[in-house]
A and B are shown apart, each in its own frame.
Chain A
Amino acid sequence: MEGNPKTPTVNFDPETGLFELKGRSIPENSIDFYKPLIDWLDRYGRSPKAKTALHVQLEYFNTSSSKCILDLFKKLEGIRATGNEVTVLWHYEADDEDMLEAGEDYAGIINIPFKMIQIEEVDGN
Chain B
Amino acid sequence: MIERIHDLYDELERQRVMLSFKGALSPDLITALLGAVERKMEGLESDPRTRKRVFNVVMECLQNLYHHNTKLREDQERPDAAPEPQGVVMIAHMDRGYSVLTGNFMAGIEVEQLKNHLDRINGLPADALREFYRETLADGKFGRNGGGGLGMIDIARKSGGKLEYGFVPYDKDSAFFSLNVNVTT
Interface residues of A (CB under 8 A from B): 5-6, 26-31, 34, 60, 62-68, 70, 93, 95-98, 101, 105-106, 108-109
Q: Residue B147 contacts which of A60, A64, A106 (CB distance < 8 angstroms)?
A: A64
Q: A67 touching B145 by the CB < 8 A rule?
A: no
Q: Residue A28 contacts which of B27, B153, B154 (CB distance < 8 angstroms)?
A: B27
Interface residues of B (CB under 8 A from A): 27, 30-31, 34-35, 48-49, 52-53, 55-56, 59-60, 63, 66-67, 130, 133-134, 137-138, 142, 145-148, 150-151, 153-154, 157-158
Knowing A60-B59, A70-B138 are in contact, say whether A28-B49 is a contact too (CB < 8 A). no
Which residues of B are found within 8 Å of A62, using beta-carbon distances? 56, 59-60, 63, 147
Knowing A63-B154, A66-B150 are in contact, say whether A29-B137 is a contact too (CB < 8 A). no
User: Can you name 8 A-B pairs with beta carbons within 8 Å?
Assistant: A28-B66, A28-B145, A63-B147, A63-B151, A63-B154, A67-B137, A98-B158, A109-B138
Which residues of B are found within 8 Å of A28, using beta-carbon distances? 27, 30, 63, 66-67, 145
Knowing A98-B158, A105-B134, A109-B134 are in contact, say whether A67-B142 is a contact too (CB < 8 A). yes
Which residues of A are found within 8 Å of B158, using beta-carbon distances? 98
CA distance A14 to B48 in the complex (A): 36
Which residues of B are found within 8 Å of A63, using beta-carbon distances? 60, 146-147, 150-151, 153-154
- Nearest CB on B from A25, distance (A): 11
* Top 9 closest pairs, chain A to chain B, by CB: A63-B150, A64-B146, A30-B146, A63-B147, A95-B48, A64-B147, A109-B138, A31-B146, A63-B151
Which residues of A are found within 8 Å of B30, using beta-carbon distances? 28
> Which among A26, A60, A63, A65 has the highest number of chain B CB atoms within 10 Å?
A63
CA distance A66 to B133 in the complex (A): 11
Known contacts A67-B148, A68-B146, A93-B48; 11 additional CB pairs below 8 A are A6-B27, A28-B30, A28-B63, A60-B55, A62-B59, A62-B60, A63-B60, A64-B145, A67-B137, A70-B137, A98-B53
Which residues of A are found within 8 Å of B138, using beta-carbon distances? 70, 109
